[in-house]
Amino acid sequence: MNTVSVKAPQTGTTYQRRSDALGFFFALPHLLLFATFVLGPVLYGFYISLHRWHVLAKAHPFVGGSNYGAALSDDIFWVALRNTIYFVILVVPAGNLVSLLLALGLYSVKRFRTFYTVAFYLPVVISIAVVAVLWRWLYNTEIGLLNMYVLSIVDGLRGIGLSLPPYQPIPWLSNPSFVMPSIALMSIWWGAGGNMVLYLAGLNNIPDDYYEAAVIDGANAWQRFLHITWPLLKPTTLFCLVFSVLGAFQIFGQTYVLFAPGSGPARSGLTLALYMYQQGFNQYEIGYGAAIAYLLFAIVLVLTVIQFRLLADRENTPRRAGAKAKEVNA
């Protein structure tokens, strides 16, 4: 009796290859756009930073790292870096705290939550140019609403018998000491709604079972937040912090619109992004401006890696938080 052996086709390998090819085919348009409009300009910008590249010059000689050395020895560069770091320190912690408080407040609201969420998120969709012009009027020393509010508070305190000195309008944008805090306040108002939505999404993903177990064990509101809410919001907090630092280091529109064409009194509003723009597009030193941009990129990259190393939680946070919820009253 003759037997015929049939060899099974290796469909697995063939299917995998076809699947990979199909996936690459669908990703190809995005890859082409990414290479054309992102990767290409990034690499070309780095190439420019290695040359003495003046717009009006016919030749662009290669200078290696001279532009980077010139930036690091430039006193104005360090002034811009100091102002940028000061802005980041003011905005990132306070902005994320405001966003978290808004999210906690909205999470506890049962009626009209969508309306309040949209209302607090609305400033995010406004152009920074419009925001800066609006706040420039608010900060006006003579007719600004902020000084009018402070004056009304002072008059109210005098009305209850307090003896206060004559009120002097606060020079929000004309005194170097007030410039960066004023920009930070405006930026927090403008961007707090974005992280608020992320925190609210994180709160909605926390299982109610953890809170119910904690309530049964007698945990109060602060204990529930400390041992359940905050640990489970760590991934969201890490995401918000990283992107807040990225955005804060790239501050440009606020200072550009508020102080155009300058950089504020005594360069108090000068930031790295603004200084890069001034060198590249006002002084036409494209190579030097590109070097400042890549120094800014290096600073942000290092800080991002540090944040991930310090804040990234590799353990099972939900499991630990759930176990902690049952131990808060032990």
Query: pLDDT tens digits, residue range 221-263?
Result: 899 999 999 999 999 999 999 999 999 999 999 999 999 878 8
* pLDDT value at residue 14: 77
Rounded-to-10 torsion of CA 108, 104, 219, 236: 130
- Across 126-135, average pLDDT: 93
pLDDT at 307: 86
Task: Kindly list the distances between the CA atom of residue 103 and the CA atoms of 220, 222, 234, in Å, as whole numbers in the listed order.
Answer: 19, 16, 15
* DSSP 8-state assignment for residue 268: T
Residue 324 in this model has a pLDDT that exceeds 70: no
Separation CA 279–CA 273 (nearest Å):
10
Mean pLDDT of 287-315: 86
Residues recorded for the chain: 330
Residue 155 has phi, psi (to 5 degrees) of -65, -35
Task: Give yes or no for residue 319 having a pLDDT over 60.
Answer: no
> Phi and psi at residue 51, in whole multiples of 5°?
-130, 155
Count of beta carbons in the 10 Å neighbourhood of residue 151: 14
Q: To which H or E segment does residue 30 belong?
A: helix 11-34
Q: What is the mean pLDDT of the chain?
A: 87
- Residue 177: count other Cβ atoms within 10 Å of its Cβ: 11
Comparison of pLDDT for 327 and 23, the residue scoring more: 23
Q: Is the pLDDT of residue 203 over 50?
A: yes
Whole-structure pTM value: 0.85
Q: Is residue 102 within 8 Å of residue 121, measured between CB atoms?
A: no
CA distance 102 to 20: 44
Where in the chain are the domains?
Answer: 75-128+179-325
- Residue 75 identity: D
pLDDT exceeds 50 at position 328: no
Q: How far apart are CA 233 and CA 238, in angstroms?
A: 9
Q: What are the C-alpha distances in Å from 84 to residues 43, 80, 185, 255, 260?
A: 25, 6, 15, 11, 17
Kindly give, in sequence order, each residue whose CB lies less than 8 Å from that of residue 171, ignoring residues fewer than 6 positions away: 141, 178
Q: Assign 130 a pLDDT band (cuts: 50, 70, 90).
A: very high
Per-residue confidence band for 165, with pLDDT thresholds at 50, 70 and 90:
confident
Q: Which of 180, 83, 182 is nearest to 135 (CA)?
A: 182
Between the CA of residue 59 and those of 52, 70, 150, 285, what are the distances in Å? Answer: 9, 20, 57, 13
The whole-number average pLDDT for the span 38-51 is: 93
Contact criterion met (CB below 8 Å) for 139 and 182 = yes
Q: Does residue 313 have a pLDDT over 60?
A: no
Report the C-alpha gap between 27 and 314 in whole angstroms: 31
The pLDDT, as a whole number, for residue 1 is 47
Q: Which amino acid is at 111?
A: R
What's the CATH code, domain 75-128+179-325?
1.10.3720.10
Band of the pLDDT at 318, cuts 50, 70, 90?
A: very low
Structure tokens at 63: 């200078």
Q: Give the pLDDT of residue 301.
A: 93
Residue 62's DSSP bridge partners are 51
Going through the chain in order, the beta strands assigned E by DSSP cover: none
Sign of the alpha-carbon torsion through 319, 325, 328, 330: negative
